């Protein structure tokens, strides 16, 4: 999953280290953001765990959003899947 995200970021034009924080592709980086967001989905307020939580780009990578902490928020799997289905995530 983390490697897939990395490839997506690269394919969408975020080709340089200036466009993403490499730590955020690691479980340690993800955990840091889950803690920041108190393990709560931004969309539905459902509690997530390190295993079920996902990171959601506030501004989609496809539209120039960057893979940095301030463009990422904790999302549950259902909300993140719903967002991707609409092609705006």
| Residue placing its CB nearer to Zn ion in the complex, 14 or 75 | 75
77 binds Zn ion (CB under 5 A): no
Q: Return the range that interacts with Zn ion (CB under 5 A); candidates 5-13, 26-34, 57-65, 68-76.
A: 68-76
48 binds Zn ion (CB under 5 A): no
Contacts of 29 (CB under 8 A, 6+ apart): 21, 22, 23
44 binds Zn ion (CB under 5 A): yes
* Spatial distance between the Cα atoms of 78 and 21, rounded to a whole number of angstroms: 25
* Spatial distance between the Cα atoms of 21 and 38, rounded to a whole number of angstroms: 21
41 binds Zn ion (CB under 5 A): yes
């Amino acid at each position: 999953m983390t490697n897939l995200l990395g490839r997506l970021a690269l394919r969408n034009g975020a080709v340089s280290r200036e466009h993403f924080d490499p730590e955020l592709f690691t479980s340690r980086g993800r955990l840091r953001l889950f803690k920041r967001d108190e393990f709560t989905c931004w969309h539905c307020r459902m509690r997530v765990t390190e295993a079920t939580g996902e990171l959601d780009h506030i501004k989609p990578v496809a539209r120039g959003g960057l893979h940095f902490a301030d463009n990422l928020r904790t999302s549950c799997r259902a909300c993140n899947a719903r967002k991707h289905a609409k092609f705006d995530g």
